Chain A
Amino acid sequence: MTGWSAHLAVMPVALPMLAAAFLLLFNEDRRRLKAIVTIATVAALVVVSALLLQSVSAGSAVPAWVYVPGNWPTPFAITLVVDRLSAMMLVLSSILSLGTLLFSLARWAWAGPRFLAFFLLLVAGVNGALLTGDLFNLFVFFEVMLAASYGLLLHGSGEKRVRMGLAYVAVNLTASMLFLIGVSLVYGATGTLNMADLARRLSDLPPENQTLFAVASAVLGTAFLVKASMWPLGFWLPRTYAAASAPAAAVFAILSKVGVYVVLRLSLLLFGTDAGAFAGFGADWLFVGGILTVLFGTAGAMAARNLPYAAGCCVMISSGTVLAALGFGTDAALGGALFYMAGSILAGGALFLLAEILEREAPEAALAADARVFADEYEDPFGSTTVEENGPVIPAAIALASAGFLICGLLLAGIPPFAGFIGKLTIFLGALPREGSLSGAAWTLIAVLTLSSFGVLMTLLRFGVAYLWTPGDGTKLPVVRIVEFSGIATLLLACILLTLWSEKGLAYADGAVSWLRDPGAYVRAVMEHQPWHGDASPGNAPQGDTP
């Protein structure tokens, strides 16, 4: 790899950071400039992540490649690793961001200060967490992601958001504290933070270090599973997401999946079959926890009083599904779960956006509680005329919203014919043994996933009928702007493409799983990486003259 393409791996982090810095230089009234810069950045991220995906997909020679910011030798340097799993997540993160961003530009981006900077830094944090091959760097990017999410959650203000924001911050700071304790324990027990180095050292740890490492894994696992919202650690998720403004909630759809991603990444890298005493560490618990998460999420969805809450429950269900498939252990089930996760991230995000459009019809909440107290107070998000109407209004709003809702609903419920169904079908097929009868775990997995399909279908059916079919008191149709709809359409189009290319998608997911099942290859890719010798001074180390 030469030229600019050699640096592709770091762009998902560096570009949004630079763009965020640029946006902060200008005041909020430079809307056009800010919108253009942000769209350009996120669109560039879509291209970059697609190129990264291309570089590790089936046709390419390398299943993974390593980029070392700082150009220090591994394992001492922080490494960024592009492999099938991280590339796939990057693509999802970019597409979700693009759709959400377009939606937000109509109104929400201007409903509070510096939304776009928060948004871009969130994307940078997510991408960094997906790319990094270093445990402490992972912590750092988790913090970037979380700090940005605090800001985004509070965006739009209002008592509900501040209240939920406080709880969210408290829960996540607790999890971050555990994360930090875990990371320092890992360092204490193994003397390294590089994931590949860690996997390499694990097999010949002295006994007392093994004990410590086991404890560290438990602590770290708890922290990640809080993020992944596994039962009983994930109660914060639905209410928080329901309180957030629609674009924030939509882009949060990937946050919990970053937790799932890390669990996937680390448990397959560290606790594979070659890991000696640690082989299969925690898999049973992940299965049980995943199943309980799916059940709890389904119950929450069935009991939901409003659509965003139900959408949050769907996010929980999809996390639980992936964790259960990971714990279940067969490659086919895991491949299906990855495919399912891709669809559910996009559809979950779209559902939050649709929910906002559908709830627009509902009478505005009493504004009395929201009256201004201070003379110089920041304007009420939509209470003033300063929020300009961006772009023309869609006439057939209801028809388009209905179609979108239908697609989201079928996808999240895993009902044919969309990607959600294909993912669940593949999980089922993966749960069936090659020969003979089904194990209890297989029956449980199939039964629980079917039950949750039914529950989600019932829930979304209820909301769909209530929002789209029940005649209101007036003939007021929701006002949807083209740019908003284009955001939702982006996400739905991605869902449909995923469905159409399901064979390719499944093949990619299977490829990712077989790559993840071979931790040795990952370790080799990282450990055998050589520092570059730059174009400017070929053959020389990057460091200049010594004193």
Chain B
Amino acid sequence: MTDTLARPDLLLLSMILAPWVGAVLAGLLPRYARNGAAALSWVVALVGLVSAILLYPNITDGPVRHEIRWMPSLGIDFVLRLDGLSWLFSVLVLGIGALVVLYARYYMSPKDPVPRFFAYLLAFMGAMQGVVMAGNLVQLAIFWELTSLFSFLLIGYWYNNQLARDGARMALTVTAAGGLCLLIGVLLLGHIAGSYDLDVVLGAGDQIKRSPLYLPMLVFVLLGAFTKSAQFPFHFWLPRAMAAPTPVSAYLHSATMVKAGIFLMMRLWPVLAGTEEWYAIVGTAGILTLLIGAYAAIFQHDLKGLLAYSTISHLGLITLLLGLGTPLGFVAALFHTLNHATFKASLFMAAGIIDHETGTRDLRRLSGLRKAMPITATLAIVAAAAMAGVPLLNGFLSKEMFLAEAVSNPRDYDRNLLLPVLATLASTFAVLYSLRFIHQTFFGPPAQDLPSTPHEPPHWMRFPIELLVLICVVVGIIPGLTIGPFLATGVQSVLGEATPYYSLAVWHGFNLPLLMSLVALAGGTVLYVLFRRPINTNPHGGPRLFRPFDGVRIFDGVMNGLTAASERGASVFGTNRLQPQLRNIILVMLLAAVLAALPFWSGLGANGFTLTPPDPGFVVLWLLGIGCALIAAWQAKYHRLAAVVMLGGAGLASCISFVWLSAPDLATTQLLVEVVTTVLLLLGLRWLPKRQDAIHIPPSEQRRAKARRVSDLLVAIAFGAFTAAIAFRVMTMPAAPDGIGRFFLEHAYEQGGGRNVVNVLLVDFRALDTLGEISVLGLVGLTVFALLLRFRPGADSLSAPEQQRVQRASDERHETRQPGDTLQDTMLVPRVVMQWLFPVIVLFAVHLFLRGHDEPGGGFAAGIAMSIAFILQYMASGTRWVEDRLRIRPLKWVALGLGIATLTGMGSWIFGYPFLTSWFRYAELPVLGRVPLPSAILFDIGVFGLVVGSTVLVLIALAHQSLRKPRDRAPAHPPAPPLEEVV
């Protein structure tokens, strides 16, 4: 050969990048640019092919590598590696790709969005190149999945067709699952070999075969290979993939993609093959696939179906050869891979032409086409003869090698008779279906009822077939001069020094394999003559024997089973109901706490308990509080009003406790909060559905309902006991001497400028917490407001409350009274008091605010107090009266409050201090005298504004509910202003 190239890396790159670049460009073409896309694709394939041919001299003596660093930290790089084997596969991918592109230009309808088709096709080509040129196992697995993906997109190209959708889904399901297995397999392989680099792995054969992980690794790798190469029992997706346009079937599903599994087994043959496990798994899968595929192919009525099963069978043959584990088997496998690609691609394209010209692929309808399309017929007959293994064609040569391997019985097993017999049987089947294909399609009287009248296709559509058939013939006659050296390079690259002597001669003399071939040829012909009629009239379009083993049915069953199991699993191990979820949370927490405490159990009682003697007053207070809480829980289901009131009682108990324990600040705030929340809750109660006195439980459910209540009670008791216990333990423990609390007590006045530590904590030490908490308060107000904007009370609470109805009825009975007068009268005294309280409470709020930094009070308490002033007005005089006189605009309060607080925080940036750093100074003010003026007071104003705004927002949203009138009733009053405008 000629001398090697100086820069092989550029050629290597162009072999893989050209298809990807082409795919992107094709995707950008206008929707119906058929010629442009085809020309682009053709150029791309040719560029790749020429690069490959130019590189050939470089790879005859060993692999060419080009590394691109990708993820060196994981030991995974992007390595392009071309040796004899990958060169052969590359030429297959690029060469047949070029021919298929040419063919597809004529096959695809101009009405299809063809650029998309070519984009997928080129992307597939790139992915396939990535697989065969991968120098890194992980890289191989990545491109492997990409071939599955683009195969899916290509099968589903005509996605309006149900068969295309189903076929595509099934193909992706099977091959992608295989790809996931392959990933595990190659990770294990790399783990055993210590590297994911192919050259390192190929050099670690002994280590790999000795490893305890060999078998799991092998199984995972083979799952990948078998699913991809349609080996039994994963073969069923391939016939379904025939819903793809025929160029795709010719390219992906006969010549290239389905050979990826074969390629993988060849690539890893030196390190995986030769063991008992390999022989058992690969050999068995191969022979089963060979026989089942060949047998099923006989019965197909669909032209492409026949070819698909024939492909499965030939893939099985190659797998079997690899499974034998002998070097000669390997040679035969590689040779047959190339031969099969040439004759099967041409047959698929011929089938596509027949489909295109006649409008049908049904073998029962086709007949006598040799008259209408003599050239295509001749080409297809030659290709089919190669498929059958007729001498002087390439299929014959590799089949002879296969039969020779079957006879040689290298392992000396007692099944020595079985393998040759089965091999002959499979060859007989191949002859039978090839004969049926030829005879049924091209011979006999011309068919009359075809959807369209057949004639020869355009010349360039036929050209790819002509070329491939020419190769079949030339290789079949002078193999040594044509394919010989390339095959030798390929074999050498894998087997190295173990390369056996083999001869590619056409004539090896009279021997057993030749006899077997002749038996197969004769037997196949005889069987066809005998069984032609029953096969053609078989209504099932498939062998009856296989019904129970129909892969499609099993697949559907498995998928349905998976879905059903998932549904079951999701409902058994999960729940959509709220109560069990809450129970889960509590139970998990209790369990986790117990488990966590177990190792530390002994420490629980250490250092004893610091108990203080009980004060009778305090005990009584707490008994009252506990009583209120229990009644609240008891009544929550049937009597909400009582529950809310009792809850208020419990809250009051804690307020008094704060006072008792000298925390006036907490007590003030808690008291105000209790008041406001209780009032708002009471206002909201009006809109809840009516009380249900009893819930009817059917007798059959009563036991369960009772059991559930008991268990709920137990959960509640357990949780309460747990909380009480840990609270007790914390309170009776000696205080941590170095806790951070002391710091605040010591520094509040000196550096925070306030005597009220709680307030200084809130607005200074932990102002960020306060900023967050007021945001929460604002958000809650906004949520209530948003929710009530579209609130729809239940039908039963839509009508006016009973009290209102009675009063109105009474007003209407008396002629002198207006509706609403009774209410006015009843509310007279409270109203006057409440209206006059307004300025008092406002002043109180200001007072609370100003003293906050030193005494109990502060922005929060002041805000709550201020909102009480507003609440009283709404309660006393009604929404309309108040809003005619006072527009509170609570949303603006919220906005200003949050804004002021945040801006105060940012203000310290100007002085070069972090967010929310405070600064204070005392000032002499007229009247008020010396007052502290910390910057935190600004922050506190923000807090005040937000608290007022948010509370009043909730109040107004609730208040407006009573103004709303159902649409279908005429409003008694002028309609209330929409809530959105009031806030």
- Asked if A422 is at the interface (CB within 8 A of a chain B CB), the reply is yes
Whether the Cβ atoms of A378 and B790 lie closer than 8 Å is yes
Contact of A425 among B183, B751, B891 (CB under 8 A): B183
Whether the Cβ atoms of B895 and A21 lie closer than 8 Å is yes
Whether the Cβ atoms of B574 and A300 lie closer than 8 Å is yes
Whether the Cβ atoms of A303 and B971 lie closer than 8 Å is no
CB nearest neighbor in B for A171? B581
Contact of A534 among B588, B599, B911 (CB under 8 A): B911
Whether the Cβ atoms of A208 and B729 lie closer than 8 Å is yes
CA distance A335 to B182 in the complex (A): 23
A281 in contact with B596 given A14-B906, A78-B769, A208-B733 (CB within 8 Å): yes
A214 in contact with B597 given A17-B771, A69-B768 (CB within 8 Å): yes
Contact of B566 among A124, A453, A455 (CB under 8 A): A455
A221 in contact with B592 given A235-B574, A277-B599 (CB within 8 Å): yes
- Asked if A75 is at the interface (CB within 8 A of a chain B CB), the reply is yes
CB nearest neighbor in B for A447? B184
Whether the Cβ atoms of B142 and A503 lie closer than 8 Å is no
CA distance A260 to B180 in the complex (A): 27
Interface string of A226-241 (1 = CB under 8 A from B): 1000011101100100
- Asked if B741 is at the interface (CB within 8 A of a chain A CB), the reply is yes
Whether the Cβ atoms of A303 and B567 lie closer than 8 Å is yes
B712 to chain A, nearest CB (A): 14
CA distance A50 to B628 in the complex (A): 54
CB nearest neighbor in B for A453? B180
Contact of A157 among B180, B604, B752, B790 (CB under 8 A): B790
Whether the Cβ atoms of A207 and B602 lie closer than 8 Å is yes
Contact of A143 among B146, B767, B772, B916 (CB under 8 A): B772
A299 to chain B, nearest CB (A): 4
A458 in contact with B736 given A148-B779, A207-B603, A208-B606 (CB within 8 Å): no
CA distance A483 to B605 in the complex (A): 63
Whether the Cβ atoms of B146 and A416 lie closer than 8 Å is yes
Contact of A296 among B570, B790, B898 (CB under 8 A): B570
CB nearest neighbor in B for A402? B153
Interface string of A418-430 (1 = CB under 8 A from B): 0001100110110
Of B56-64, B665-673, B974-982, the segment with at least 4 beta carbons within 8 Å of chain A is B974-982
Whether the Cβ atoms of A222 and B776 lie closer than 8 Å is no
CA distance A171 to B965 in the complex (A): 34
Majority secondary structure, B binding face: helix
- Asked if A524 is at the interface (CB within 8 A of a chain B CB), the reply is no
Which residues of chain B come closer than 8 Å to A510, judged between CB atoms?
73
Whether the Cβ atoms of B976 and A215 lie closer than 8 Å is no
A189 to chain B, nearest CB (A): 7
Which residues of chain B come closer than 8 Å to A372, judged between CB atoms?
967
Which residues of chain A come closer than 8 Å to B502, judged between CB atoms?
none
The residues in B between 145 and 201 inclusive whose CB is less than 8 angstroms from any CB of A are 145-146, 149, 156, 159-160, 165, 168-169, 172-173, 176-177, 179-181, 183-184, 187-188, 191
- Asked if B212 is at the interface (CB within 8 A of a chain A CB), the reply is yes
Residue in B71, B575, B897 with the greatest tally of chain A CB atoms within 10 Å: B71
Whether the Cβ atoms of B776 and A532 lie closer than 8 Å is no
Whether the Cβ atoms of A232 and B573 lie closer than 8 Å is yes
Interface string of A71-96 (1 = CB under 8 A from B): 11001111000000000000000000
CA distance A457 to B145 in the complex (A): 12
Which residues of chain B come closer than 8 Å to A47, judged between CB atoms?
none
CB nearest neighbor in A for B180? A450
A469 in contact with B574 given A377-B789, A532-B912 (CB within 8 Å): no
A328 to chain B, nearest CB (A): 16
A393 to chain B, nearest CB (A): 18
Whether the Cβ atoms of B790 and A232 lie closer than 8 Å is no
B760 to chain A, nearest CB (A): 11
Whether the Cβ atoms of B739 and A192 lie closer than 8 Å is yes
Which residues of chain A come closer than 8 Å to B911, judged between CB atoms?
534-537, 542
Whether the Cβ atoms of B733 and A118 lie closer than 8 Å is no
Contact of B902 among A14, A222, A541, A546 (CB under 8 A): A14
- Asked if B800 is at the interface (CB within 8 A of a chain A CB), the reply is no
CA distance A432 to B190 in the complex (A): 10
The residues in B between 736 and 756 inclusive whose CB is less than 8 angstroms from any CB of A are 736, 738-741, 743-744, 747, 750-753
The residues in A between 135 and 184 inclusive whose CB is less than 8 angstroms from any CB of B are 136-137, 140-141, 143-144, 147-148, 150-151, 154-155, 157, 162, 166-167, 170-171, 174-175, 178, 181, 184
Which residues of chain A come closer than 8 Å to B179, judged between CB atoms?
415
CA distance A222 to B184 in the complex (A): 34
CA distance A24 to B893 in the complex (A): 9
Whether the Cβ atoms of B765 and A70 lie closer than 8 Å is yes
Which residues of chain A come closer than 8 Å to B181, judged between CB atoms?
450
A185 in contact with B726 given A143-B772, A151-B786 (CB within 8 Å): yes
Contact of B779 among A144, A218, A375, A376 (CB under 8 A): A144
A127 to chain B, nearest CB (A): 11
Whether the Cβ atoms of B71 and A69 lie closer than 8 Å is no
- Asked if B563 is at the interface (CB within 8 A of a chain A CB), the reply is yes
Which residues of chain B come closer than 8 Å to A77, judged between CB atoms?
765
Interface size class of B (residues with CB under 8 A): 35 or more
CA distance A546 to B575 in the complex (A): 61
CA distance A125 to B607 in the complex (A): 41
CA distance A425 to B182 in the complex (A): 12
CB nearest neighbor in B for A432? B191
A147 in contact with B751 given A114-B786, A137-B768, A425-B183 (CB within 8 Å): no
Whether the Cβ atoms of B588 and A542 lie closer than 8 Å is no
Of B349-357, B629-637, B840-848, B917-925, the segment with at least 4 beta carbons within 8 Å of chain A is B917-925
- Asked if A273 is at the interface (CB within 8 A of a chain B CB), the reply is no
- Asked if A385 is at the interface (CB within 8 A of a chain B CB), the reply is no
Whether the Cβ atoms of A78 and B173 lie closer than 8 Å is no
B143 to chain A, nearest CB (A): 8
A151 to chain B, nearest CB (A): 4
- Asked if B70 is at the interface (CB within 8 A of a chain A CB), the reply is yes
Whether the Cβ atoms of B967 and A299 lie closer than 8 Å is no
Whether the Cβ atoms of A69 and B915 lie closer than 8 Å is yes
- Asked if B764 is at the interface (CB within 8 A of a chain A CB), the reply is yes
Residue in A189, A197, A235 with the greatest tally of chain B CB atoms within 10 Å: A235
- Asked if B697 is at the interface (CB within 8 A of a chain A CB), the reply is no
CB nearest neighbor in B for A152? B783
Which residues of chain A come closer than 8 Å to B741, judged between CB atoms?
191
- Asked if B325 is at the interface (CB within 8 A of a chain A CB), the reply is no
Residue in B604, B779, B980 with the greatest tally of chain A CB atoms within 10 Å: B779
The residues in B between 541 and 569 inclusive whose CB is less than 8 angstroms from any CB of A are 559, 562-563, 565-567, 569
Which residues of chain A come closer than 8 Å to B726, judged between CB atoms?
181, 185, 212, 215
Whether the Cβ atoms of B912 and A465 lie closer than 8 Å is no
- Asked if B526 is at the interface (CB within 8 A of a chain A CB), the reply is no
Residue in B599, B902, B914 with the greatest tally of chain A CB atoms within 10 Å: B914
Whether the Cβ atoms of B776 and A143 lie closer than 8 Å is yes
Provide 28 A-B residue pairs closer than 8 Å at the C-beta atoms, listed in order of the A residue: A4-B909, A7-B914, A24-B891, A24-B895, A69-B915, A71-B913, A76-B740, A112-B786, A125-B775, A137-B768, A143-B776, A147-B779, A150-B780, A170-B578, A193-B740, A208-B729, A215-B597, A217-B596, A218-B597, A235-B575, A299-B570, A303-B563, A303-B567, A374-B967, A416-B141, A416-B145, A457-B172, A506-B71
Rank and list the top 10 A-B pairs by shortest CB-CB distance, nearest first. A207-B603, A191-B739, A191-B736, A535-B912, A24-B895, A302-B566, A188-B730, A21-B899, A534-B912, A140-B772
B contact set with A: CB distance below 8 Å: 69-74, 76, 138, 141-143, 145-146, 149, 156, 159-160, 165, 168-169, 172-173, 176-177, 179-181, 183-184, 187-188, 191, 212-213, 559, 562-563, 565-567, 569-570, 573-576, 578, 581-582, 584-586, 588-589, 592-593, 595-597, 599-607, 723, 726, 729-730, 733, 735-736, 738-741, 743-744, 747, 750-753, 764-769, 771-773, 775-776, 778-780, 782-783, 785-787, 789-790, 792, 891-892, 894-899, 902-903, 905-906, 908-909, 911-922, 932, 964-967, 971, 975-980
Query: Other CB < 8 Å A-B pairs besides A76-B740, A377-B964, A378-B980, 11 of them?
Result: A72-B765, A114-B782, A151-B779, A154-B783, A157-B790, A181-B726, A211-B600, A302-B562, A461-B173, A469-B160, A542-B918
